[in-house]
Amino acid sequence: MDKLWSPWRSNYIQSFKHKSDNEECVFCSVQQLDINNDESLVVYKSDLCFVMLNLYPYNSGHLMIIPYRHISDIEEITKEEFAEITKLITLSKKALTDLMKPQGFNIGANIGKAAGAGIDQHIHFHILPRWIGDTNFMPTIGEVKVISQDLLETKKELVKVFAEIG
């Protein structure tokens, strides 16, 4: 079996300094911002969770579903939060399908640093739109990932779609 290495991913993970107890979590601080604030990548807010674009996406439209409560383990999620996370994953899939017409999706969570979580102190779930041929040699050879859409423009379009369908 051939193996392709992506050193850019480990550099990204190592770029996060370990947060001390007195530093605020990025997910806790961003949830306070208004959706229309350009400083925020939040696209939708619900009662127990919110949806935001990933600042370091694997693909255009890479979303994260995040509970408001600052918890780090899936075992800490309440039944109500888990029901809302599931609802928001489904809503996010519909929003991305309506806006971007992907051919597939990756959905999941990285629990802990060893599993690839860049921010392991606050649990979050990823939904990535995928297209046939959306991977190429750039991350492996050039240590760069090409994202073809501007994050702020994608955010504005997703906010509109979520408002229509949510």
18: annotated active-site residue: no
In tens digits, the chain (166 residues) has pLDDT values of: 454 444 545 554 454 444 445 568 999 999 989 999 888 999 999 999 999 999 988 889 999 999 999 999 999 999 999 999 999 999 999 999 999 999 999 999 999 888 888 889 999 999 999 999 877 444 444 444 445 568 899 999 999 999 999 8
Q: Is 22 a domain residue?
A: yes
Q: Is 38 a domain residue?
A: yes
Q: Is 2 a domain residue?
A: no
Question: Could you say which of 62, 122, 124, 126 is catalytic?
Answer: 124
Residue-level pLDDT at 148? 55
Q: Is 113 a domain residue?
A: yes
Task: Report the domain count for the chain.
Answer: 1
Residue-level pLDDT at 117? 85
CATH number for the domain harbouring residue 42: 3.30.428.10
For residue 126, give its domain range. Answer: 7-165
Residues 155, 161, 163, 165, Cα dihedral to 10°:
-150
Q: Is 1 a domain residue?
A: no
DSSP structure string for 75-143: GG--HHHHHHHHHHHHHHHHHHHHHH--SEEEEE---SGGGT-SS-SS--EEEEEE-TT---SIIIIIS
pTM equals: 0.80
